[in-house]
Amino acid sequence: MVRILFVCIENSNRSQMAEAFARIEGAEKVEVASAGSNPATAVNPKAVAAMAERGYDLGTHAPKSLADVGIVSWDYVVTMGCGDDCPLISSRQRLDWQLPDPREMDEYGYRTVCDEIERLVRQLIAGLP
């Protein structure tokens, strides 16, 4: 199993959706988690709605801190547009996806970011050994 960690600031939008897409796309290939450098108190309802449309229940997820996911030997750490707010986390490979935070975006903007996350996750999973 390839271990992937998705990180953003609040772990309430981008990284939660990326974790969900990785679970959908790589169910038998990956062990996946997400976390935030400054976690929110709940997953954004927009993220829950966007993933529900794709058949995934994010309503059961809660934002996690990096401490919550523990020290794991990650194969990939994917940061998601959080710059210096995302600390260096040990991994075999580190990727930085420059994605805007969709938290305050209208529905169209939010869905555009969600679609881009889905595309990037599919590309990542397809390239795994």
Which of 8, 18, 47, 66 does the annotation list as catalytic? 8
CA dist., res. 19 & res. 84, Å (int): 21
Query: Does the annotation mark 114 as catalytic?
Result: no
Residue 86 known to be catalytic: yes
Active-site residue, from 82, 113, 117, 121? 82
Q: How far is residue 111's CA from residue 39's CA, in Å, rounded to a whole number?
A: 22
> Distance between CA 24 and CA 39 in Å, rounded?
23
The one-letter code for the residue type at 3 is R
Q: Catalytic annotation on 82?
A: yes
Q: Which residues are catalytic?
A: 8, 82, 86
